[in-house]
Amino acid sequence: MSTSDRQAGRTEQKPLPSGFGATTTAAEVAAGVDLRGRVAVVTGGSSGIGPETARVLSAAGARVVVGARDVKKAERALAGATGVDVRPLDLADPDSVDRFARSVVDSGSALDLLVNNAGVMALPLTRDGRGYEMQFATNHLGHFQLTARLWGPLRRARQARVIALSSAGHRRAPVDLDDPNFTRRPYDRWAAYGQSKSANSLFAVELDRRGRGHGVRAFAVHPGGILTELARHMTDEELSAYGVVREGETLRVPSGYKTVEQGAATSVWCAVSPALDGKGGVYCEDCDIAEIVPDDSEPLRGVRRWAVDPGHAEALWGLSERLTGLTWPD
For residue 313, being part of any structural domain is answered with yes
Q: 244 pLDDT exceeds 80?
A: no
In a domain, 237, yes or no: no
Does residue 57 belong to any structural domain of this protein? Answer: yes
> What is the gyration radius of the CA atoms in the chain, in angstroms?
18
In-domain check, residue 239:
no
Classify residue 40: in a domain, yes or no: yes
**CA–CA separation, 247 and 300 (whole Å):** 26
Q: Please report whether residue 100 resides in a domain.
A: yes
Does residue 236 lie in a domain region?
no
Residue 253 lies in a domain: no
The torsion angle over the Cα atoms of residues 33, 28, 159 and 74, rounded to 10 degrees, is -100
Domain span at residue 34? 3-227+260-321
- Mean pLDDT over 234-262 rounds to 67
For the chain, what percent of residues have pLDDT higher than 70? 88
Q: What total of structural domains would you count in the chain?
A: 1
For 296-314, write each residue's pLDDT tens digit.
998 889 999 999 999 999 9
Q: What positions carry a catalytic annotation? A: 193
CATH value at residue 309: 3.40.50.720
The pLDDT > 90 percentage for the chain reads 84
Mean pLDDT of the chain: 92
- 279 CA to centre of own chain: 17
Give the model's pLDDT for residue 247.
Answer: 61
Residues 2-31: pLDDT tens digits? Answer: 455 455 568 999 999 999 999 999 999 999
